[in-house]
């Protein structure tokens, strides 16, 4: 399924299969439930240009999304400095 309309504009679509194809996994314990997600995508457009797309699961308020992004940046920066 293409993510583009006939006019060449992006349209919302499920990305679960695309994330699976990229090998995205998460460590969840047997009694843990996935409660929400913020997803940052690097998208290659038909003309070769690259754009970023940010989306989130229903039910997350802006403060939760902002907090999750801030924490993700902190984790990524800390692990990069540690050489991971």
**What is the block-wise mean pLDDT of the chain (84 residues), using blocks of 10 residues?**
58 91 96 96 94 94 98 92 75
The pLDDT score that the predictor gives to residue 79 is 84
The pLDDT score that the predictor gives to residue 69 is 97
DSSP reduced 3-state for 39: strand
The pLDDT score that the predictor gives to residue 72 is 96
User: Six-digit token pair at 31?
Assistant: 């009694």
- What sign results for the dihedral spanned by CA atoms 47, 48, 51, 54? positive
User: Do residues 44 and 50 touch, judged by C-beta distance below 8 A?
Assistant: yes
The pLDDT score that the predictor gives to residue 81 is 79
């Amino acid at each position: 399924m293409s993510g583009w309309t006939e006019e060449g504009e992006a349209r919302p679509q499920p990305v679960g299969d695309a994330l699976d194809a990229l090998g995205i996994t998460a460590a969840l314990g047997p009694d843990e439930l996935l409660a929400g997600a913020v997803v940052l995508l690097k998208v290659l457009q038909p003309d070769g240009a690259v754009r970023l797309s940010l989306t989130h699961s229903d039910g997350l308020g802006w403060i939760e999304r902002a907090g999750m992004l801030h924490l993700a940046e902190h984790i990524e920066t800390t692990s990069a400095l540690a050489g991971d």
